[in-house]
Structure 1
Amino acid sequence: MTSRRHLIHQSIAAAAGATLLLRLVPAEATPESLQQAIASFSGDAPIRTGRVKLQIAELVENGNAVPVTVSVDSPMSAGDFVRRIALFNERNPQPEVAVFELSPANGRAEVGTRIRLATSQGVVAVAQMNDGSLWQQRVDVIVTLAACIEGG
């Protein structure tokens, strides 16, 4: 006859084994999911390269808090301004990092934040102007110490 204590120990051991298995296979986005996320943001409208300046180090020692600044060439006037700026990456658990809403009241088309990078990957900034046009820049970042991976 199996004792209650034995069953509890078996359940704990099974749960620990499942947790260990999950940690060995971290979830990550793919280049395809990156393209899907950008298409969702852009509504499948064409995206041109230019006007956007994505400032992020191309070699990052630690992916836990990577400084990122995105600026867009725009006068931020009532007739010509940036409506939204989005950040995407291709290998973190989710490809959408952030979306910033702007208006002429912002004065400058510039945002800054820190992001986590799970591993070496491409980071993409896309800006949507008030006329609906979309502009982008991509930077490939090499990460020597990964983030977004739970450790024990």
Structure 2
Amino acid sequence: MDNRRRNALKAGGALGVLGVLAAAGLITPAVAQAAWNKAAFEAKSIEAALRAIGAGQPADSADILISAPETAENGAAVSVGVLSHLPNTEYMAIMVENNPAMLAASFQIPAGTLADVQTRIKMGQTSNVFAVVKADGRFYMTKKKVKVTLGGCGG
């Protein structure tokens, strides 16, 4: 069976279950968006974004790896991954320094799982991409510069 078809069927099934639960009144929009940190996603500076997620001044760490291209041809869809080798990783965030809103993505990492996330983000221009990780109640950070040749945030 084609993997794309299988993934589409899985996603459709999950959305169907979510729709049934919402229709039955068991899940409200407030519950579905409870983990959304509005202040963090609207932050315009790295300091404000870090403050909104409770990170303060995270320590630099070589145990966090960012996988992203050196040069992204199209900033509308830049593939970025973060892998944390820090024990007990519980949260990961991806921030883009020169974007209109700093926080591009955030992830809660369940206990006992591999702290490895992959996503696509928008980048308006060449910028530093930061990975912020919370492990054992402390925050850590690393960064990587990504050159964008065609902006994806309205550029």
- Larger C-alpha radius of gyration, 1 or 2? 1
Change beyond 3 A, Cα 1:118–1:45: closer
Establish whether residue 110 from structure 1 lines up as the match of residue 116 from structure 2. yes
Moved more, 120-129 or 40-49: 40-49
Establish whether residue 91 from structure 1 lines up as the match of residue 103 from structure 2. no
1:132 shift after superposition: 1.4
1:149 aligns to what? 154
2:141 aligns to what? 136
1:65 shift after superposition: 0.5
1:45 shift after superposition: 4.5
Task: Say if 2:99 and 2:153, in contact at 8 Å, map to a contact too.
Answer: yes
Which TM-score applies when normalising by structure 2? Answer: 0.66
Which protein, 1 or 2, shows the higher relative CO under an 8 Å CA cutoff with sep ≥ 6? Answer: 1
Distance 2:58 2:117 in 1: 23
Distance 1:96 1:132 in 2: 20
Aligned length in residues: 113
Task: Say if 2:55 and 2:139, in contact at 8 Å, map to a contact too.
Answer: no
Change beyond 3 A, Cα 1:108–1:43: closer
1:13 aligns to what? none
Name the aligned partner's letter for residue 97 of structure 1.
A
Matches within 5 A, 1:3-152: 33-74=45-86, 80-105=87-112, 107-129=113-135, 131-149=136-154
Task: Say if 1:55 and 1:69, in contact at 8 Å, map to a contact too.
Answer: yes
1:36 shift after superposition: 2.1
Distance 1:124 1:55 in 2: 11
Which TM-score applies when normalising by structure 1? Answer: 0.67
CA RMSD, Structure 1 to Structure 2 (Å): 1.8
